[in-house]
Amino acid sequence: MIKSSGQAAKLLRADHELVDDFLYLELGGFCLGVRSNSAAFIRKLAKYFDHVVVDACTADVVIEAYDIDVLDLDVNWQDWAREPGKSGKKDAYYELDDGRLLLKVRTGMVFLQSLQARIAAGPCSKLDNQVINFINSQYMNWLQQHDWLICHASGLDVDGIGIGMAGLSGGGKSTLMLGLMDQPDVRYVTNDRLFIRREEGQVKARGIPKLPRINPGTIVHNPALHGLIDESRRNELLALPEQELWHLEEKHDVMINEIYGEDRIEEEMSLRGFLVLNWSHDSQQATHLDEVDLESRQDLLPAIMKSPGPFMQFKDGSMYQDSEQLDSQTYIETLRGVTILEASGRVDIPLLQKELAQWARDN
């Protein structure tokens, strides 16, 4: 029976040898190193994380990624409880004395999260997005260990005005964000995980080095993104009913610097506004953008709050549990002084892009 992270690490490492290549990522005061048994996989990760790659730094954390076949571990996996509104099995876990083993149920990727070792094992190159998420989870842990609060939101800097954007899946958050990126004074901060912290009376916001991962509904109507799919596929997609198109799951990574130009990614911003998309494709009401008071509109908080998830490990080595409840008052207090904007009525992304850009110019 596996009891410790040392035993788990020995099992995952087996007789696989790491190559000499070492990838270093500099993330706002946190240095992360990545090693692998595959030089090709290190090169693949280096291309993805290009904007945060450095020649060397003193690594706070080192990740080992073993690109191997799916492992069949003889452990008693437990299902990680999904957040409200989510269905199906996604993550399973096995508690260790000093950490946690995690299993991606649909793919078989296995991860070890402990203070002694962070390891990804399985078909890493084929499932590179899951390894990228694991890498980002180490930075997310570091941020939360330093009092940053996690939000389920994207973030943009619009000519010096930081804006967070939250909403339910399929609500057009990524489409809105990438449409705004067409403006040269807009810089990308994050797509799906925004971290906030009060500093000297201001609210600072940081993103993680995770590029937008979007569905075809976002691609087909944005000329800047048309290169992500060929023309024949785009025509097929445009022929689909709108509702079917918007709910089609077919992920594509958006390489921000390649599409929008160099220096269009920002690590940290002062948060001035937070938009919550509370609209619907089925609504018959006109689109509205209104300022609201978050304390009296706590029904909007579930769209903003985010569970730290199964990879969250605290400074003392203990692991976050899926039974823990998020503290809504902490979000309210942290966001105090930030203008909360609600988009309601029917989905009208071009209209909201104009109104949000105008709001940023006025503020």
Domain match, 63 and 90 both: yes
Domain boundary residue among 145, 161, 185? 145
Domain match, 57 and 206 both: no
User: What pLDDT, on the 0 to 100 scale, is given for residue 82?
Assistant: 83
The answer to whether position 240 is within a domain reads no
The answer to whether position 44 is within a domain reads yes
Domain match, 19 and 135 both: yes
At 329, the pLDDT band (50, 70, 90 cuts) reads very high
Domain match, 181 and 134 both: no
Instruction: Write down the residue that tokens 């939360």 correspond to.
Output: 144
**SS3 call for 154:** strand
Domain boundary residue among 116, 145, 174? 145
User: What pLDDT, on the 0 to 100 scale, is given for residue 22?
Assistant: 95
User: What pLDDT, on the 0 to 100 scale, is given for residue 246?
Assistant: 76
**SS3 call for 168:** coil
Average pLDDT, the chain: 93
The answer to whether position 15 is within a domain reads yes
Domain match, 133 and 259 both: no
* DSSP letter for each residue of 81-131: PPPTT--S--EEEEEETTEEEEEETTT--EEEEESS-EEEEE-TTTTHHHH
User: What pLDDT, on the 0 to 100 scale, is given for residue 5?
Assistant: 97
In tens, the pLDDT along 27-38 reads 999 999 999 999
Domain match, 87 and 195 both: no
Domain match, 85 and 138 both: yes
% pLDDT > 90, the chain: 78
CATH number at residue 328: 3.40.50
User: Which class for 71: exposed (0-12), middle (13-18), buried (19 or more C-beta within 10 A)?
Assistant: middle
Average of pLDDT values for 220-243?
88
Domain boundary residue among 97, 128, 145? 145
In tens, the pLDDT along 137-166 reads 999 999 999 999 999 999 999 989 999 999
Domain match, 124 and 155 both: no
Domain match, 289 and 153 both: yes
User: What pLDDT, on the 0 to 100 scale, is given for residue 262?
Assistant: 85
Domain match, 305 and 165 both: yes
Q: What is the domain extent for residue 258?
A: 149-212+254-362
Overall domain count for the chain: 2
- What phi and psi values does residue 275 have, to the nearest 5 degrees? -95, 130
User: What pLDDT, on the 0 to 100 scale, is given for residue 245?
Assistant: 83
User: Which is higher by pLDDT, 120 or 358?
Assistant: 120
In tens, the pLDDT along 114-140 reads 999 999 999 999 999 999 999 999 999
Domain match, 181 and 284 both: yes
In tens, the pLDDT along 247-286 reads 788 889 999 999 998 889 999 999 999 999 999 888 899 9
Domain match, 117 and 166 both: no
In tens, the pLDDT along 294-322 reads 999 999 999 999 999 999 999 999 999 99
